């Protein structure tokens, strides 16, 4: 049996509650406010890990060349950090929904390929379990952030 379910229903199942709000808004205030943590909340572990890596690396590239702790940064360095954080937050707010929707569509293609004979209800259940939100993913992201931050600090203090 070919699974020719309406992809829109699978997308809504993947997003979970508030899917209508999510699909109809251009700016995602939650993504703006929580940035990288919102990626983890939406169970996008690999993209979340990539963004955490980029974020921490950017932060350390600004602070480390002066070899100063954060409380001794110049006003310009501090301003650069604030601009970086606000820029990232704005980009998250503006583009998260489109990026997440692309991610969902790729995941749905994988689900359909992996379960070619699944019924409509089974596909919806697979999408619900794969998508949605997760506090556990935030905890995983937080642990990774601590480990990655520690690794960056170790490497910088060891080699610079």
Query: Cα(156)–Cα(160) distance, rounded to whole angstroms?
Result: 5
Query: For 89-137, what is each residue's pLDDT tens digit?
Result: 999 999 999 999 999 999 999 999 999 999 999 999 999 999 999 999 9
Q: Please report where in the chains the tokens 């952030």 appear, as a residue.
A: 145
Burial-class residue 31 by CB neighbours within 10 Å (0-12, 13-18, 19+). buried
Query: For 136-146, what is each residue's pLDDT tens digit?
Result: 999 999 998 88
Q: Note the pLDDT of residue 62.
A: 65
User: Which residues lie closer than 8 Å to 29 by C-beta, 6 or more apart?
Assistant: 93
- Decide: 26 and 97 in contact? Cβ < 8 Å: yes
Mean residue pLDDT across the chain = 86
């Amino acid at each position: 049996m070919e699974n020719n379910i309406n992809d829109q229903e699978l997308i809504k199942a993947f997003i979970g509650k508030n899917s209508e709000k999510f699909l109809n808004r251009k700016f995602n205030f939650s993504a703006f406010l929580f940035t990288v943590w919102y990626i983890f909340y939406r169970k996008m572990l690999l993209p979340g890990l990539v963004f955490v890596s980029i974020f921490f690396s950017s932060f350390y590239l600004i602070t480390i060349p002066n070899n100063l702790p954060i409380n001794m940064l110049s006003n310009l360095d501090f301003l650069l950090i604030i601009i970086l954080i606000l820029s990232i937050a704005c980009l998250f707010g503006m583009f998260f929904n489109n990026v997440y929707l692309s991610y969902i569509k790729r995941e749905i293609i994988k689900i359909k390929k992996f379960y070619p004979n699944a019924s409509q209800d089974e596909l919806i259940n697979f999408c619900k379990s794969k998508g949605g939100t997760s506090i556990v993913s935030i905890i995983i992201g937080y642990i990774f952030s601590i480990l990655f931050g520690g690794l960056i600090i170790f490497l910088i203090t060891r080699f610079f």
